Amino acid sequence: MHASAVPPVLLAAAAEGAAQADTLARARAFAEPLIAGETLDTGENILSHADAVATILADIGGSEFMQAACYLVYACPHLNKPEEVIAKAFDPGLAQLAMHTNQLVHVQRLSRSSQSSAQLLDDPKLQTENVRKMLLAFSRDLRVVMLRLASRMQTLRHFAATKLPVPAALAKESLQVFAPLANRLGIWQIKWELEDLSFRFLEPVTYKEIAKLLDEKRVEREQYMVDLRQRMQLALAEQGVNATVEGRPKHIYSIVRKMRGKSLSFDKVFDIRALRVVVPDVSDCYQVLSWVHEHFSPIAQEFDDYIAKPKPNGYQSLHTVVRDVDGRPIEIQIRTQAMHDHAEHGVAAHWAYKEAGAKGYAGVSASSDYDAKIAVLRQLLAWERDLSGAADAQGLFDDRIYVLTPDAAVVELPQGATPIDFAYTVHTNLGHRCRGAKVDGAMVPLHTPLANGQTVEVTAIKEGGPSRDWLNPELGYLASHRARAKVRAWFNAQISSENIARGREAVEKLLQREGRTAMRLEDLASQLGFKSADGLFEVVGKDEYSLRNIEVLLKPPEPALTPDEIVLQRKTRGSRHTSESGVLVVGVGSLLTQLSRCCKPAPPDAIQGFVTRGKGVSIHRQDCSNFRELTKRNPERVIEVRWGERKSGPEASVYPVDVAVEANDRQGLLRDISEVFSKEKMNVIGVQTQSVKGMAWMTFTVEISDSALLNKVLVTVRAVKGVRHARRR
């Protein structure tokens, strides 16, 4: 064919292939003098390792562009500015691929070395899953993961060939992280080999036992399966079914997992002999099933119709186990080509089926959201050879990031998380005491957003708590809802502690005043109906429980008065007399009265009287909690009272009332509040103040002639700078 007749698309493809081949050769030549004499920590020569990795990538369909990266990854540590040098010599994209892969190698080495000793994250399953996610989330390019998979498989092959002892952490990481990752990506030949090699190193005795059992009759079994496959294919063809019948290779680790997962002996593992039948249509599936059950003896409990009732992840197939004339079990799967493609390369591929099946293998449960993201990754894998730059998997985990502790334990955080979020995730107390942070060794502000793969180290004080600024969303200190909840809980606990301290002080002073300091506080609280002493102190400290209740408990009410004792001075029934307190006792004349100190009534408050022994009538506000308690115990001693005629002007009576104020403490606060009362011509006859950690609690006793005027004054007090609450007690 003349050159001018070649389609432009083919010319472009040929040119691209030539360019990639040239890149591969140049990359090897570039790296060889830097790495030819170097060895990995496994003892393997680095150039030999890179050659082997490139071959593995070629076998699984990796482009020569990817193969070139194998050499440049190991050249990076030998260059001063590796990304800049490689970008100039080759391509910026290739430079980034090499740099990201080299960075991931370093992170995994740290994580592997600390995995057995990391104390911050004790759950090995959680740690393993975090590493799995990080392999994907941290890598901006899916090809980074493929390079690491191929490299790890070569490392295991090296140990197998040299018979050197394999570090347990490396074998575990290969089995728990790399093999499932290959499984998710559908790279089955790597997956099976990683599993079998890792298992061989971790449990050599069990591996040899199963290998021996498989090998004893391997030739006979394989010949039997070849004959069975050919006989079935011919029989189905005679019935007009265009079927492809294949044997399913069994791997040692897969057999062991099934034996352990279902508590089976080797003889009971049905799918040591296994066939898969792929047909064009669904109707053909059931025709094949009918033929199989007609010519073999089916085991009823081992039949599953996943076509009529697909698995939640969309997997479809017919599964049946039958016995031949000699009683040997044979597992047969029957599916259409579309079902087979989905099972091999779609979301249903063995991650969900093998590792978290409904029958309960000991694996990690898969989430539908996670598997949906993996489906996108698989599409990127399919496109990799055609579009070398299209495998950007960075956006798949935009909601999460994965960072490292100084010990290289992996910590999962929400996107936008800061060093404070990190500290609270590691430990609540570390979050409270966090005062500084280093990211990759450099000091950063505490509101700095973290990124995938960074190492975070927190500086903490010995004692202390969080700042209120951390709860301000505009300042950006916290991105985690859990961390914000922990900060709020700390401040709530502090307020509770302050109320308890204030209440304890008040109760202890009362007991001292009453000469009852020997009384146990827990007993006192129990007698008052509280579960603990702190429960009593807290409500007293918040002014929600009057100390008068304790006084009543310490000094029980005296017995009910006789009729003669009710009249304390003279008996003039039907008369009405206003006492000096301005209170009219209805029905009894000239009876001694006193305004109660617990609620300090003042006109025009609604009031009631309570007849005491020897002290006349105690006047209470109707809403007084102490009065309610007295009424419950001695309702017969309640007497009707009301305010008498009030004078005005200079001769008007005045009454003391208490005003409770809570405010942010500052200089001049007491003066400013006192001025409010002074301007309203209210005499302040007493002040009690207490200040704890920037908060002030004040009680003003002021004289007023009319309690209705107090509401107006309280509005003005609340307007004073720093005042949070002001109310009459």
How many Cβ atoms sit within 10 Å of the Cβ of residue 359? 8
Strands (E) in 324-424, as ranges, are 329-336, 400-404, 410-414
Distance of CA 203 to CAs 210, 268, 330, 393, Å?
11, 21, 28, 35
Q: Which CATH number fits domain 14-211: 1.10.4080.10, 1.10.287.1080, 1.10.3210.10, 3.30.559.10?
A: 1.10.3210.10
Check pLDDT > 50 for residue 16.
no
Q: How many CB atoms lie within 10 A of CB 68?
A: 28
Mean pLDDT, rounded, for 538-542: 84
Residue type at position 688: Q
Highest mean pLDDT among 122-126, 253-257, 480-484: 480-484
Per domain, the residue ranges of the chain are 14-211, 217-348, 490-554, 563-648, 654-728
Residue of 279 and 109 predicted with greater confidence: 279
Which residue did the predictor score with more confidence, 132 or 96? 96
**What is the predicted pLDDT for the residue at 218?**
66
pLDDT of residue 693: 81
- The DSSP call for residue 177 is I
CATH 3.30.70.260 fits 654-728, yes or no: yes
pLDDT on residue 41:
86
Contacts of 593 (CB under 8 A, 6+ apart): 579, 581, 583, 585, 609, 616, 617, 618, 619, 641
Three-state helix/strand/coil letters over 10-79 = HHHHHHHHHHHHHHHHHHHHHHHHHHCCCECCCCCEHHHHHHHHHHHHHHCCCCHHHHHHHHHHHHHHHC
In this predicted structure, what is the pLDDT of residue 556?
Answer: 65
pLDDT at 312 over 70: no
Say if residue 270's pLDDT is above 70.
Answer: no
Q: CB–CB of 488/438 below 8 Å?
A: no
Give yes or no for a contact between 487 and 470, defined as CB atoms under 8 angstroms apart.
Answer: yes
Go through the chain and tell me how many residues it has: 729
CA dihedral of 521, 527, 532, 535, whole degrees rounded to 10: -100
The pLDDT confidence band at residue 343, using thresholds 50, 70 and 90, is low
Q: What does the pLDDT read at residue 129?
A: 62
Least confident of 57-61, 180-184, 358-362, 495-499: 358-362
CATH assignment of 217-348, among 3.30.1490.20, 3.30.460.10, 3.40.50.80, 1.10.1660.10: 3.30.460.10
- Determine the average pLDDT of the residues in 436-465: 89
Count the helix, strand and coil residues of the chain and give each as a percent rounded to the nearest 5.
Answer: 50, 15, 30
Which residue is listed with tokens 């290289």? 408
Backbone CA torsion sign across 499, 501, 504, 510: negative
Q: What Å distances lie between residue 164 and 153, 161, 506, CA to CA?
A: 15, 8, 75
- Give dist(CA 29, CA 32) in Å, integer: 5
Among 102-111, 221-230, 596-605, 688-697, the range scoring the smallest mean pLDDT is 102-111
Residue 703 has pLDDT above 80, yes or no: yes
**Residues above pLDDT 70, as percent of the chain:** 75
Asked if residues 155 and 193 have their Cβ atoms less than 8 Å apart, the reply is no
Please report which helix (H) or strand (E) contains residue 218, including its range: helix 218-238
| Among 103-112, 167-176, 223-232, 580-589, the least confident range | 580-589
pLDDT band at 286 (very low <50, low <70, confident <90, very high): very high
Higher pLDDT, 670 or 3: 670
CA 132 to chain centre: 17
The string of pLDDT tens digits covering residues 169-220 is: 889 888 888 887 777 665 767 888 899 999 999 999 988 888 887 776 667 7
Give residue 62's pLDDT. 76
Mean of all residue pLDDT scores within the chain: 78
**356-384: average pLDDT:** 36
Q: What is the DSSP letter of 455?
A: B
Q: Which residue has the higher pLDDT, 158 or 219?
A: 158
Q: Could you give the strand order of the β-sheet that contains 442-444, starting from the edge strand earlier in sequence?
A: 442-444, 434-439, 456-460
What average pLDDT score do residues 573-578 get?
A: 46
* pLDDT, tens digit (0-9, with 9 covering 90-100), for 639-665: 888 887 777 666 677 888 889 999 998
**Residues 456-482 pLDDT 10s:** 999 999 888 899 899 998 899 999 889
Q: Which two tokens stand for residue 207?
A: 């591996």
Structure tokens at 229: 């496959």
| pLDDT for the residue numbered 684 | 85
Does 389 have pLDDT greater than 80? no
Question: Looking at beta carbons, which pairs linking 626-630 to residues 24 or more positions away fall under 8 Å?
Answer: 626/546, 626/548, 626/549, 626/552, 626/596, 626/598, 626/599, 627/596, 627/599, 629/549, 629/552, 630/552, 630/557
Give the pLDDT confidence score for residue 12 in this predicted structure: 40
CB 610 within 8 A of CB 531: no
Q: Which tops the pLDDT comparison, 500 or 18?
A: 500
Q: What is the spatial distance between Cα 14 and Cα 7, in angstroms, rounded to a whole number?
A: 11
pLDDT at 122 over 90: no
Answer whether residue 354 shows pLDDT above 70. no
The pLDDT of residue 184 is 63
Tell me what the mean pLDDT of segment 257-286 comes to: 80
More confident residue, 637 or 5: 637
- pLDDT higher than threshold 70 for residue 131: no
Helix (H, G, I), strand (E, B) or coil at 102: helix
What is the structure's pLDDT at 347?
34
